């Protein structure tokens, strides 16, 4: 380290990892990949029966997830945890709440486990990252019964 002592916080080291940063295309590919996985967690054909929700919930989750990464980096916030948090938050926004324990179970079935504390922590980061803007517009029509 030019400053001496090897305590430079920006210096690469094996302990810190010396991999190069993601370029914008790679970061965009990660966002695309995880937003596509939302429907597997809370969509119409979700693996966990108790997480099966209308397509609007999955659309809301994907929108919240993408909205978050418009102003945040995948290198700072784990996209897997944010994706699950977006799904959990979308069930609340669309008024069809799901238990967080089923979210954890769903991630295990997807071979991408995220613990309950990680989901709750990511949910707070998600809400802060989108500046509490939870309203989502979708091209789904409301069906009125006579």
Q: State residue 79's pLDDT score.
A: 94
Domain boundaries in the chain?
24-129
Give the confidence band of 103 by pLDDT, cuts at 50, 70, 90: very high
Class of domain 24-129: mainly alpha
Q: Give the pLDDT score at 135.
A: 82
| pLDDT at residue 20, rounded to an integer | 75
**Share above pLDDT 90 across residues of the chain, in percent, rounded to a whole number:** 66
Residue position matching structure tokens 């919930």: 57
Task: Give the Cα separation of 26 and 92 in Å (integer).
Answer: 31
Question: Is residue 59 within 8 Å of residue 43, measured between CB atoms?
Answer: no
d(CA 73, CA 71): 7
pLDDT band at 23 (very low <50, low <70, confident <90, very high): confident
pTM of the complete model beyond 0.85: no
For 54-76, how does the pLDDT look when each residue is reduced to its tens digit (9 = 90+)? 889 999 999 999 999 999 999 99
Distances in Å between the Cα of 141 and the Cα atoms of 9, 30, 80, 137, 145 are: 52, 30, 30, 11, 13
């Amino acid at each position: 380290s030019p400053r001496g002592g090897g305590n430079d916080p920006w210096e690469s080291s094996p302990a810190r990892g010396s991999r190069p940063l993601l370029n914008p295309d790679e970061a965009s590919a990660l966002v695309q990949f995880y937003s596509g996985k939302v429907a597997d967690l809370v969509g119409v054909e979700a693996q966990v029966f108790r997480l099966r929700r209308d397509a609007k919930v999955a659309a809301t989750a994907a929108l919240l997830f993408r909205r978050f990464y418009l102003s945040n980096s995948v290198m700072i916030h784990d996209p897997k945890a944010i994706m699950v948090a977006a799904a959990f938050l979308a069930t609340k926004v669309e008024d069809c709440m799901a238990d967080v324990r089923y979210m954890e179970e769903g991630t295990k079935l997807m071979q991408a486990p995220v613990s309950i504390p990680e989901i709750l922590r990511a949910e707070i980061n998600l809400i802060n990252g989108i500046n509490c803007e939870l309203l989502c517009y979708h091209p789904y029509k409301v069906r009125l019964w006579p």
